[in-house]
Chain A
Amino acid sequence: MDDQSAIIDIHAGKQAGATYLYNKYSGKLLGTFKNLGLSTENAEDILQETFIRFINRVKKDTSLDNIMAYLFTIGKNECYRFFLINKRFSENEEFTSSSEDIVVNIPSNINIEKEIEFLDCLSTELARFEKSEKNANKCLEILTLVAEAWSLQEIAVKINKKYGATREFLSQCRKKLKSYINHCFDKKL
């Protein structure tokens, strides 16, 4: 069996195709979820939900170019959903938050599906940004350092630039990136 025949098998409502894809990708997905700081229990819940959503989609439509990329996109969306829900519950003190801290700012009236759609749109545009912009790799490298909580001072030292220049470079990166993702804000569910 290969990925495409697994898709056809799932579309026909059979288990073998799903078993094949699960055996092939579940370890890598689970490892990625754990690398995000998720506990084994939460990572396994997200893995299960990822495959359920994937299979339900394949049962309706088999036109997928890159199965692995699609599985990881669903996985990423499920992680985001988890972080948003987790945060919402922790703010209502109905759920004890853990060290899983991707999301810290969450408006009270958040529409989770809309946020996931926004993330999807941003991901697509970020890929387009990477292909089209000359300094994209450098931008993403520095943005990743910021996301990993490096201070601007530390980043400036790392890239051998002055603090002001680093800040200006980040500001330019955001400006360029914004021109790609602006339309994502207007999307309606």
Chain B
Amino acid sequence: MNNLEKKDSDDWIDVLSGKEVPDANSETIREAQALRMELKFRKAQDLPTESIQPNPRILQNIFKETELKPNQKKQNNFLRSLLAWKVTLPLPSLVTAMLLVGIIPVTIMSIKPVEPIEPIVGIPKSLPQILTVPNPQTIAGELIFGLTKLGLTVNIVESSGTWIIEVKDSSIADSIVLETLLKKYGLLSMSNHLEIHIVTK
């Protein structure tokens, strides 16, 4: 190995180990630096990672930047079948279908409603709902993930440690699944407009 080769080899080792070598060959720097990045990233990937809940606003920013739209609730299968039937079948069948469409709602309306279940104690039946927890950011993250999974558009505001989650129209979500999700946090699905304030205990 001549002197030039030895210097290049030393420079390569130095750059790979994170030292500054201003007079190193530019290709040597590129090679050693990219290799350093690759090896450090591999190591970082293999190391155990602490359990971190990313800031819930990141997902909302991603949606905004990529213009992804909330998923729409699937159309009711019964209605879809009925519509298909209407389009493909001749007039007598169409009349039957229209009668069914007329009769069913009247029948449903005539049924006496079941007495509502007692609401969860302590939660007011007006907006907004307050949730007091030791870790508002984590709970906000969980709630936002749950709500966006249901295809809902969620607005988030964080101010002095209080997380405000707002859903302007929850009607597109499956009401039973939504109710179950909210119940998990002692919240109620009172109307199509949801506003939840999450504050520190």
Q: Measured between alpha carbons, how far is A101 from B21 in the docked complex, in Å?
A: 14
- Whether A31 and B39, one on each chain, are in contact in the complex, defined by CB atoms closer than 8 angstroms, is no
CB-nearest residue of chain B to A28: B49
Give the residues from 56 to 81 in chain A that come closer than 8 angstroms, CB to CB, to chain B.
Answer: 56, 59, 72, 76, 79-80
Q: Measured between alpha carbons, how far is A9 from B151 in the docked complex, in Å?
A: 12
Count of A-B contacts with CB under 8 A?
Answer: 166
Q: A170-B13, A174-B12 are in contact. Are A18 and B22 (CB under 8 A)?
A: no
- Whether B43 and A144, one on each chain, are in contact in the complex, defined by CB atoms closer than 8 angstroms, is yes
- Whether B65 and A27, one on each chain, are in contact in the complex, defined by CB atoms closer than 8 angstroms, is no
- Whether B34 and A26, one on each chain, are in contact in the complex, defined by CB atoms closer than 8 angstroms, is no
Q: A30-B54, A79-B37 are in contact. Are A15 and B71 (CB under 8 A)?
A: yes
Give the residues from 32 to 91 in chain A that come closer than 8 angstroms, CB to CB, to chain B.
Answer: 32-36, 40, 44, 47-48, 51-52, 55-56, 59, 72, 76, 79-80, 83
Secondary structure of the B contact surface, majority rule = helix
Interface size on B, residues (CB 8 A): 56
| Chain B interface residues toward A at CB < 8 A | 1, 9, 12-13, 15-22, 24, 26-27, 29-31, 33-45, 47-55, 58-59, 61-63, 65-71, 145, 148-149, 151
| Chain A interface residues toward B at CB < 8 A | 9-10, 13-16, 18-20, 22-23, 26-28, 30-36, 40, 44, 47-48, 51-52, 55-56, 59, 72, 76, 79-80, 83, 101-105, 107, 115, 118-119, 122-123, 126, 140, 143-144, 146-150, 152, 170-171, 174, 177-178, 181, 185
Pairs A–B under 8 Å by Cβ, sample size 7:
A40-B52, A72-B45, A103-B37, A147-B17, A149-B17, A171-B9, A174-B12
